[in-house]
Amino acid sequence: MDPDGSEQDPETKEQYASVYVGREEDIKRSERITAVVHDREVVIFYHKGEFHAMDIRCYHSGGPLHLGEIEEFDGRACIVCPWHKYKITLETGEGLYQSIDPKDPSAKPMWCSKGIKQRIHTVTVDNGNIYVTLSNEPFKCDSDYYATGIFKVIPSSF
């Protein structure tokens, strides 16, 4: 048992140390920034008074989420990927989709969740500075594929 993480090896500890990404007032003004946090590209959104950080590349096929629009679906704020319009909740990283009961085609489509698909990271505000701490949640998240290895760099031509 290692409840406080004190037995983590130093490299792991370093990987999950928070990183300064910018001034609070600047990010509030621009409403989004990109940053590299311990070799992982993330996008930080400021939306309706809250900061949200997630992997920058869409879990579906690596699209550039920092270029998407934020819209509400079923009362939940989502980033809409500019490539194929997948909807990802800012709060949890869930992929949302609409479904309809095939036995009742007249029914209204309902919003459903595919589960967490995009890795969400923690944003901390301290004395006017914004920090991001990478998620250490021990589950396989689809966006991990594009956040690591040869896929992790976004070409500058977007």
Give me the residues that bind ligand FES (CB under 6 A), please: 58, 60-63, 81, 83-84, 86
Instruction: Please give the full DSSP string across 66-104, using - where no structure is assigned.
Output: GGSEEEEETTEEEEEPTTT--EEETTT-EEEEEE--TT-
SS3 3: coil
Quote the least distance from Cβ 64 to ligand FES, whole Å: 9
For residues 45 and 86, which CB has a smaller minimum distance to ligand FES in the complex? Answer: 86
Quote the least distance from Cβ 55 to ligand FES, whole Å: 12
For residues 16 and 145, which CB has a smaller minimum distance to ligand FES in the complex? Answer: 145
Quote the least distance from Cβ 67 to ligand FES, whole Å: 10
Distance CA 34, CA 36 (A): 7
For residues 27 and 53, which CB has a smaller minimum distance to ligand FES in the complex? Answer: 53
For residues 27 and 55, which CB has a smaller minimum distance to ligand FES in the complex? Answer: 55
Q: 127: which 2 tokens? A: 């004395």
Can you tell me which residue has the tokens 């997948």?
86
